[in-house]
Structure 1
Amino acid sequence: MSAKNTLNLRARLQSGLQGFMAGRRSESGAVAVMFALSLLVLTPMVLGAVDTYQNNNQRGQLQDALDAATLFAARSRATTTEGVDLIGDTALKANLILPEGSMLIRSDFVLTPANTVEAVAEVTPAGIAPGLWPHPNLRAGATVTRAVDRLEVALVLDNTGSMSGTKISTLKVAAKNLIDTLQTASQRSTEANPLKISLTPFSMTVRVQGTTQTNTYDPATHSGPGIPGWLDPQGVSHARLGAGFDIFDVQTDRFALLKQMNNTPWEGCVEARPRPYDIQDTAPSAGSPDTLFIPFFWPDEPDASAGFYGYPNDYLSDGVTSPNWQVREQNSAKYVTAPAVGRQTGSGYQLGPNGGCSLQPMIRLTSNFAALKSAIDGMVAVGDTNIPLGLMWGWHTLSPNAPLSDGAAYGTENLRKVIILMTDGENTMGDPGSNSEQNRSYYSGLGYIWQGLLGIFSGSSSTRTQTMDARLSALCQNIKGKDITLFTVRVEVRSGASSVLQNCASSRDKYYDVQDVSQLSAAFEAIAGSIDTLHISH
């Protein structure tokens, strides 16, 4: 009730009392006396009810103003109770409108060791008849948990062929806006480099680094400039399964073959590790070949000119006359000339050992937001969908363990790790679809299906998807087990179950099912806001 309404009510009551007093002198004095006596009982009750309503209303206004002031103080860069108190008190006085007769007699804002801002405020009530119905002072309290001081965020973004056109252009805008939002929020932190972000574009593989030349590679030591030590150039983990499980007839150094092929560069893509390391962040170790990463190398496939039709990546002469497709494909002695230039038949990938590895390279955890946005602008849509491999490398970017070791240690105080996974499709391991093609899959970050990296050696499209989904689900559990917050975004998926991505998210509210790509930016903004949210408790 406003001060003006309170005065009007007082005037009306006073006028009424005067009228009734005049009635005592009338001929109907007896009735007037009875009425006046009733009024003496009713008036305090009415005044008390009005007081109660007004005080409840005033208490609500006090709580709203205190909530806003506490949030404002928590979002500030103040690092002491004195600083927080000054900011909060100023904001409270600016927002709080008191009725006539009320006064703010206390407001305290305290920054606790738990990084929360605790506030309390107290005002005197503005009663109509405080002498008749005295009321205690009105109090309100609020607690806001401040944003964590440091944040590590991994963007794991689907760059598969189905993302071409409007989808990928919309994704670029949404991802860059999200970076801007988080960067602005991070400016409230008092920490150095409070925000770091990584970018992992994925399709059927992940490009962990840019083009690396092979002309100075040393086959004798299996090393060279720009070649990470956590790679397994010889494919030992394939060879250990026995003859027939590697893409070559003998254990062969992939980089040595690239060098022999007129110094063909390695474009930076990799295969997934064998189970169980495909979904773990176990550090690579030379003493355990299965923990190392095999460089992506799509072998030359049997010659169409020799009657082997349906093989998409025929870029060299087979060098043998055998009628056996596998003998021709696995012949490691044929890699002595530059690969043919052009596009594969059917898939559209470039010919050669780097076929399908035309993704934008991954960006490791960084606070160089301009470089991140530039890389996002460079994203292209190509290839099938291998969500587990993309998500695993997103996790690697946040992990304190090798191969990257860029993330802070798990459990670091005042640090939050977040992964945002976005995809527009189901897991797939494509098949050229030709009856004469015996690999029964395109080569990818899972090798060929017959190599067993997926955990099966053959199977229909639905069987492959189900197997990859199972690995994805287990991977998500492993990530969440490290206290990493996982957001998942599913864009314009018209078929297939949503339960895999929904269950992957840290909670149901962290799963976004975007039915139209035009809504993607709104979803990303909601995620950015969720990451930066400050919570009020009373």
Structure 2
Amino acid sequence: MATAQRLIGSTFQRLRGLAARLGSDRRGNVVMMFAFAMPLLLMLTFGGIDINRITTVKARMQDALDAAALAAARSTYTEPADLKRVALVALNANLRNSDVEPLQDSDFTIALTNDQIVVADLRVRVKTLVANIVLPPYGKLLDDTVPLSAHSEVNRSSKDIEVALVLDITGSMTTAKLKSLKDAAKELVDIVVQDQQSPYYSKMSIVPYSMGVNLGSAYATTARGTPTAATSITNITWYTGSVQTVTAATKATPTAITTSANHGFAVGDKVAFWNVSGMTGLNGVVYTVGSVPSSKTFTLKNAANNTNIDSRNWSSLNTSSSTPYVAKCARTDCKPTVTSANHGLLAAGGTVYLSGIGGMTNLNSKGFQTTNLTSNTFLLETVGSQTYTGGGSAYCGHYGCQWRVFVSAAGSLQWLANSTCVSERTGAEAYSDASPTVAKVSFSYPASNNGCPASTILPLSSSKTDLKSLISSLSAGGSTAGQIGAAWGWYSVSPNFAAMWGSSAPAAYNTRKTLKAVILMTDGEFNTPYSSGVIAKDAGIGSGNDSDHINQNATNGDSFTQSERLCAAMKAQGVIVYTVGFQVASEGNAADLMKTCATSPAYAYLPTSTSDLSEAFQAIGRDITRLRISR
């Protein structure tokens, strides 16, 4: 034991001596100092490598969080769980193969504020590569992992949004095509119209169109005015003396007529027949009394009194199915004189529509040309018949009246009723969005086989229920007046129509505060221009029959040219125009119009299938609600 202690003590003394000698020896000091400093230098070098890695990961992490927040903001979700589910897809995709430790549920939070800002926070840990190496006597510079955090905010919308969805519901929209349109339109509603309407609102109008746009009675009156009302008829006269019952008529030259009583006619008198069966050639024609063989018989000549009437090839008079009548005309032309105070018909070439007349029922529900007007009377361009017993209404037949009576492109006289649809505006404001108090839009008189669509326009609304309900109710029919649809898409977002729309009034034009967009959709050629409220003679194929077209060319020209000018005008006001040509030929007028009308070629879509249509509407919706990262 004592020997061991002596050995230890001897060894300790020798080491103390060695240390003393080394301390007093100045040779090799640099090497020794470097040896002591080298661990610290290694730690700084290794730490720099990790710090550079951490900085790179931090930047990638921020980019990934921004992308995740943007993805969540573009969705329609509002609840944190839903937003998080959407955001994690983008976040994990962008953090793949990074040096970030696996995320825990608490590492990532995301929420939507009342100001419609998506706020996202991310906390991760990054494993160090070399800076955690232990270097005695200094230890290590960093921990095994380093915590990092990132924050991102995205404005779901930084502007108010007003979107007009203009939908083609014409006859070419088959059941399948219309269903595809309805589905795609409803998807668009969900994308554009947000549940939260404060501090920024998002509204949409629906403008269904075919041969026109149905405004409904209240809006139609404001937009195109009140149609001229009917005036009351107080008398209609056309014959003198008494009405005679016809009992026989010869098939001979000249034709001889027998009456049941003394007729009292004289040679040269003008007479007219009605209610004749069999020998129907007698009805509605002016005849001259040629001779009077007896008090109950007379023969017939033509109205000019120069030719006997030859009825040998006519059918025989049939008195068993109806009672025929004849009377002497008060005028040589046998025209009825109608008394209706302040009727307001045009002084020359006026037209009228009659209804509700007692006795002279053959005049009811018909249009007539008129002549020889005074302020209280007018002549009907027809041969008189029957006996007036009272009542009746006279509707003026020119533009702006309840009924439109006109010469058709087929050359016949036609009469059509006013509707709650409207046609193009004409004149100096044809291609502006001037208020209807400045310039009215035009009346529309549709034919029964090309009627005003049942679905009415829905002005700007934030109610998804109302918007989708209207879309669901759409039915197809009629021709394609796309220019009228385009106009009302614009008018529905125009501040100049604010007074008309009331609580659905659009905001003022201000592109910094409000995004206004019109989406014009069609499945074919625009073919329905107008003249004086009636489809024009030069309308395109598929716009109805010539008998329902007015014998005048379109006031504003063809529908394509009108649409192009309207699109140009609304774009000049800062309105963004998207176009969707569903299954239209890639080359042709419709496709060209879609490209011309759109704000740019990127805003024009030509989907060919149901899925393409859905994708087009979704792309438009995303573009309208495109978002920007605020911080």
- The two structures have a TM-score, normalised by structure 2, of 0.49
Match of 1:190 in 2: 198
Q: In the alignment, which of 424, 434, 437 is matched to residue 272 of structure 1?
A: 424
The structural deviation recorded for 1:145 is: 3.9
Separation in structure 1 between the aligned mates of residue 628 and residue 580 of structure 2, nearest angstrom: 24
Q: In the alignment, which of 372, 391, 403 is matched to residue 486 of structure 2?
A: 391
Q: Where do 1:301-380 residues align within 5 Å?
A: 350=448, 355-380=450-475
Separation in structure 1 between the aligned mates of residue 74 and residue 468 of structure 2, nearest angstrom: 29
Match of 1:304 in 2: none
Alpha-carbon spacing, 1:176–1:271, altered in 2? closer, same or farther (3 Å): same
The answer to whether 1:165 aligns with 2:175 is: yes
**Once the two structures are superposed, what CA deviation does each residue of 1:349-394 show, in whole Å capped at 9, x if it has no partner?**
626xxx4323422222233433332322222222222221101011
The structural deviation recorded for 1:208 is: 1.5
Answer with 52-61 or 160-169: which moved more: 52-61
What is the identity, as a one-letter code, of the residue corresponding to 2:517? V
Match of 1:533 in 2: 626
What is the identity, as a one-letter code, of the residue corresponding to 2:552? W
Separation in structure 2 between the aligned mates of residue 496 and residue 226 of structure 1, nearest angstrom: 35
Q: In the alignment, which of 556, 559, 573 is matched to residue 454 of structure 1?
A: 556
The answer to whether 1:504 aligns with 2:602 is: no
Residues 175, 524 of structure 1: 8 Å contact kept: yes
Residues 169, 178 of structure 2: 8 Å contact kept: yes
The answer to whether 1:297 aligns with 2:445 is: yes
Alpha-carbon spacing, 1:362–1:44, altered in 2? closer, same or farther (3 Å): same
> Comparing both structures, which one devotes a greater share of its residues to helix?
1
**Once the two structures are superposed, what CA deviation does each residue of 1:142-186 show, in whole Å capped at 9, x if it has no partner?**
663440463322110011221122111211122123223334xx1
**Once the two structures are superposed, what CA deviation does each residue of 1:45-83 show, in whole Å capped at 9, x if it has no partner?**
8986676456524531343135435776899999xxxxx
Separation in structure 1 between the aligned mates of residue 204 and residue 551 of structure 2, nearest angstrom: 34
> Comparing both structures, which one devotes a greater share of its residues to strand?
2
SS in 2 for 1:370: helix
What is the identity, as a one-letter code, of the residue corresponding to 1:350? S
Identity level (%):
27
Gaps (5+ residues) in structure 2? 1-37, 102-107, 134-139, 229-346, 353-368, 371-395, 406-415, 531-535
Match of 2:288 in 1: none
The structural deviation recorded for 1:535 is: 2.5
Residues 181, 613 of structure 2: 8 Å contact kept: yes
How many pairs align?
386
Match of 1:344 in 2: none
SS in 1 for 2:221: coil
Match of 2:577 in 1: 486
- The two structures have a TM-score, normalised by structure 1, of 0.56
What is the identity, as a one-letter code, of the residue corresponding to 1:293? V
Match of 2:433 in 1: 281
Match of 2:212 in 1: 205
The structural deviation recorded for 1:251 is: 7.1
**Once the two structures are superposed, what CA deviation does each residue of 1:306-332 show, in whole Å capped at 9, x if it has no partner?**
xxxxxxxxxxxxxxxxxxxxxxxxxxx
Q: Where do 1:13-52 residues align within 5 Å?
A: 52=52
Alpha-carbon spacing, 1:177–1:140, altered in 2? closer, same or farther (3 Å): closer
Q: In the alignment, which of 519, 522, 525 is matched to residue 426 of structure 1?
A: 525
The structural deviation recorded for 1:496 is: 0.5
Residues 246, 451 of structure 1: 8 Å contact kept: no
Match of 2:61 in 1: 61
Separation in structure 2 between the aligned mates of residue 124 and residue 489 of structure 1, nearest angstrom: 48
Alpha-carbon spacing, 1:479–1:265, altered in 2? closer, same or farther (3 Å): same
The answer to whether 1:147 aligns with 2:157 is: yes
SS in 1 for 2:495: coil
Residues 158, 201 of structure 1: 8 Å contact kept: yes
Bigger radius of gyration among the two: 2
**Once the two structures are superposed, what CA deviation does each residue of 1:467-512 show, in whole Å capped at 9, x if it has no partner?**
x333222211221222222221111112415343123222333221
Residues 160, 384 of structure 1: 8 Å contact kept: yes
What is the identity, as a one-letter code, of the residue corresponding to 1:160? T
Residues 77, 189 of structure 1: 8 Å contact kept: no
What is the identity, as a one-letter code, of the residue corresponding to 1:492? Q
Match of 1:32 in 2: none
The CA RMSD over aligned residues, in Å, is 5.3
Separation in structure 2 between the aligned mates of residue 449 and residue 134 of structure 1, nearest angstrom: 94
Residues 201, 359 of structure 1: 8 Å contact kept: no
Match of 1:382 in 2: 477
